[in-house]
Amino acid sequence: MFGPEPEGATPLSAEDRRALLADWVATRDDLNLAEQANIAAGRTTVMRGRPLRLDQVLDDTFVRRLHRRMFDQVWAWAGAYRTIELNIGVDPWQVPGAVRDLVADARFWLAPDVGWIAPDVALCKVHHRLVQIHPFVNGNGRHARTFTDVLTRSVGRPLFSWGAGTDLQEVSPDRAAYLAALKRADAHPDDLDDLVAFARS
């Protein structure tokens, strides 16, 4: 059955396990496989073809739709904002407003005529804030990285490598560096150098 969770992972409750659509999932490895397949399919759908316009991506409906595409074969609640407390993130009742505020702020941060914030910093600012909000029961880091990738394409920037393609779900030096960069941004929201450096590593 499910063993200990890696640092920073959201633990699975008995209720979470009842929400699994993939009834063959019995272990954390099974869950990882199911989610990886779903995420790959969802990511392919959203990343193929022409980049989406900035106004299409910076919309709270798109935030939810992307999560649903990434997890709809695994979780019954895919794409629905969480209504429960977690060990990270804003209070559940704050999630919808926090996401709306984030996409509104991001429109300003990424506006082509602003110029006071470098594009990579703006993109990592969006990523950090989305992780900080933690809008969903699970999959928030993977969703936030994919959302940032979609956004990055929309503004014509090269995609981030997020630690040179390492699986950030697994315990590794890259996962530790990623979590450390997020924690530094939590403590110093105006200093995203570590997160930008990791995203481009």
Residue 158 forms part of a structural domain = yes
Residues of the chain with pLDDT under 70: 1-13, 114-115, 165-167, 170-171
Question: Could you give the CA distance from residue 142 to residue 19 in angstroms, rounded to a whole number?
Answer: 19
**What range defines the domain where residue 110 resides?**
14-199
Residue 6 forms part of a structural domain = no
The pLDDT of residue 116: 78
Long-range contacts of the stretch 170-177 (C-beta < 8 A, 24+): 170/6, 171/6, 171/7, 175/6, 175/7, 175/8, 176/7, 177/201
The token pair at 4 is 């200990």
Residue 41 forms part of a structural domain = yes
Residue 3 forms part of a structural domain = no
Q: Are 137 and 75 in contact (CB under 8 A)?
A: yes
Residue 20 forms part of a structural domain = yes
Residue 1 forms part of a structural domain = no
The pLDDT of residue 164: 73
- Can you give the CATH number for the domain in which 106 is found? 1.10.3290.10
Residue 8 forms part of a structural domain = no
Catalytic residues: 134
- Structural domain count, the chain: 1
Residue 2 forms part of a structural domain = no
The pLDDT of residue 2: 47
Contacts of 122 (CB under 8 A, 6+ apart): 106, 109, 110
